Amino acid sequence: MTEMAMVGLGRMGANMARRLASGGVKLALYNRSFQVAQLLAEETGAQACASFKDLVAALDTPRVVWLMLPAGEATGQAVDQLSALLEPGDVLVNGANAYYGESRRQAAKLAEAEIGYVDAGVSGGIWGLENGYALMVGGEKAVVARMERFLKVLAPAPDKGWLHCGPVGSGHFVKMIHNGIEYGMMQAFAEGFALMKGKQEFDLDLAAIAEMWRHGSVVRSWLLDLTAEFLSADQGLEAIEPFVSDSGEGRWTALEAVEQGVPAPVMSLALMMRFASQGHNDYPAKLLAMMRKGFGGHGVKPVLSDVEGEGT
């Protein structure tokens, strides 16, 4: 009896499959690289499938297929291909960090074929295998009820860490806001530790401070736990480039704030700081330097490589 399929066996998808298998769920696995599916199948006792057709055929009916693919084109293509193979009464779960509006459109399309749709926001990162995943789920009540067995295995405990948030789209909407809050919290920690590092006359031990804050402080959190861990090994971070990627979730949260007319300056500015770290502030900074030179005669700092080139 194969109860569920997992499509997309990257870091999150593979660990979710491992947690499900350890919880007794019989799985079919699919990945773009069949070898990845084979290796995980050998580890977990699941069934590796070489195509979507094989995957659907391997499942007992009514089928449940959970997608853990990158949001956007990859997920969209998989939804289209699977919708042609699944049958009325089957359920497709989109676990990507997807835009909630796109989830609603996908659900409406699948509803025409009487295929159930669940949008699942998944949080927990690489630690989810051990600690469980926070699951924010949207969909019709009857469809989500069919997913409860799997949600209870994936969550930190059967009665906590997962929630049916509301209709289709609500799961990905709540996950979007979750990530926006995450951006703000991360930025606040980063700025605070940078200020302490800059107060050189105090010679502050950042690792010791982070560890102390973990116990009894109002700012204690998992993010602080992680910060304390890496600071204990390296406070200077000299080998790390100051580049921070951003996902679509942060952008969608900022746009949602504009659309609702609700002020969300912390989350929006945290997103802007990520843009700045990616080099997108370089040209504006050059413009500022040239404007300052223009009105005040202030000097500008040339790029070092250009200075070196003048002598060659």
Supply the residues annotated as catalytic.
Answer: 175, 182
Report in angstroms the alpha-carbon separations of 119 from 27, 54, 61, 167: 20, 24, 20, 9
The residue whose two tokens read 């042609």 is 84
Nearest of 84, 18, 17, 22 to residue 51 by alpha carbon: 84
Task: For strands 4-7 and 162-166, give the pairing.
Answer: unpaired
Task: Classify residue 64 by its DSSP letter.
Answer: E
Concatenated DSSP letters of 141-183: HHHHHHHHHHHHHHSSBTTBSEEEEESTTHHHHHHHHHHHHHH
With a CB cutoff of 8 Å and minimum separation 6, the contacts of 224 are: 189, 210, 213, 214, 217
Q: Can you tell me the distance from the alpha carbon of 20 to that of 201, in angstroms, rounded to the nearest whole number?
A: 52
* Phi then psi dihedrals of residue 265, to 5 deg: -65, -35
